[in-house]
Amino acid sequence: MKRGQLDDLLAFATIARVRSFRRAAAELNVSPSALSHTMRSLETRLGVRLLARTTRSVAPTPAGERLLESVESALEQVESGLGAMGQWRGDPAGAIRITTAHYAAHHILAPALPAFLRENPRITVEICVEGRLADLVRDGFDAGIRWGEIVEQDMVAVRIGPNTRLIMVGAPDYFERHPRPQSPADLERHNCINYRNVSSGGTFPWTLQRADGKEVRGRADGQLVIADAPDLAVTLILAGAGLGMVLEEQAAPHVAAGRLVHVLKDLCVPFGGLHIYYPSRHVSPALRALVDRLKWKPSDEPEA
């Protein structure tokens, strides 16, 4: 292979994967114009059009899809091999792009990353905080962090947090104006704060679970719907805006201080813990180092 051809193929594969010249240029640390010139040169040299471009999108042509299938695996092996050289230097290196939601970004990544990055000066981390469930391959992410229940089955998933649950809470001021619910049927008479499912567009149902595992569906209508802003939900509930479901860890300090009241204590929405997930078992040394740092150990699980 001639000098520069590997770089050209890497440029093509990156554009085809992220479907954007601008994003590919940022990932490769080159200018969009330089990347466009590289692609024109590659297409001229091969005598075939590899990318179909419009003003809004870019996608591989049939010939481009065929080339991508041929070279993508080899490029991954080359990248993995180069990344593995960190083992000989004694430190992993490379860039990691992570998609996650607000809670995991603040409660998992924010506490862990400062020390991790100090100990691994050759690793860079980009975090995209968003409510939607991103397609890792299509959107150019190395890994995602989500609740275990929503991670796709074909992903490699590593648990990084304990079991938790959503509990139902309201402010004392709210209950001065509304009677405390005694059963799920009472929720129909309350102003319930709902969460928007950013991926599907609907709102999350209040499917509650009893201690014996039996599910109970409650009708929860209200004036407020929140999309991917759990801290805002807590603030609004504290202000007496309505009755809401909140992660127990977020609610506990307020319940202990009397600022929130936990109602229907025999009902909750259980979650199996946060997981970091990725599409292949062949991960870069940089991502492997981060996964190892975040991995949840059985001994870390709080006792019941």
* Residue 56 confidence (pLDDT): 66
Domain ranges, ordered by start, for the chain: 5-83, 91-162+273-300, 164-271
pTM of the model: 0.66
Pick the CATH number of 5-83 from 3.30.420.40, 3.30.2010.10, 1.10.10.10, 3.40.640.10: 1.10.10.10
pLDDT of 87 above 70: no
3-state secondary structure labels for all residues of the chain: CCCCHHHHHHHHHHHHHHCCHHHHHHHHCCCHHHHHHHHHHHHHHHCCCCEEECCCCEEECHHHHHHHHHHHHHHHHHHHHHHCCHHHHCCCCEEEEEEECHHHHHHHHHHHHHHHHHHCCCEEEEEEECCCCCCHHHHCCCEEEEEHHHCCCCCEEEECCCCEEEEEEECHHHHHHCCCCCCHHHHHHCCEEEEECCCCCCECCEEEEECCCCEEEECCCCCCEECCCHHHHHHHHHCCCCEEEEEHHHHHHHHHCCCCEEECCCEEEEECCEEEEECCCCCCHHHHHHHHHHCCCHHHCCCC
* Residue 296 confidence (pLDDT): 85
Pick the CATH number of 91-162+273-300 from 3.40.630.10, 3.40.190.10, 3.30.420.10, 3.30.70.930: 3.40.190.10
* Residue 136 confidence (pLDDT): 87
Among 158-162, 200-204, 250-254, which is the least confidently predicted range?
A: 200-204
pLDDT of 195 above 80: yes
What would the pLDDT profile of 275-300 be if each residue is shown by its tens digit?
999 987 667 889 999 999 999 876 55
Fold assignment, 164-271 = D-Maltodextrin-Binding Protein; domain 2 (3.40.190)
Provide the sign of the torsion angle of the four alpha carbons 245, 248, 253, 258, taken in this order.
Answer: positive
* Residue 281 confidence (pLDDT): 65
* Domains 5-83 and 164-271 in one fold: no
Mean pLDDT over residues 257-279, rounded? 91
pLDDT of 304 above 50: no
What would the pLDDT profile of 37-48 be if each residue is shown by its tens digit?
899 999 998 999
* Residue 4 confidence (pLDDT): 59
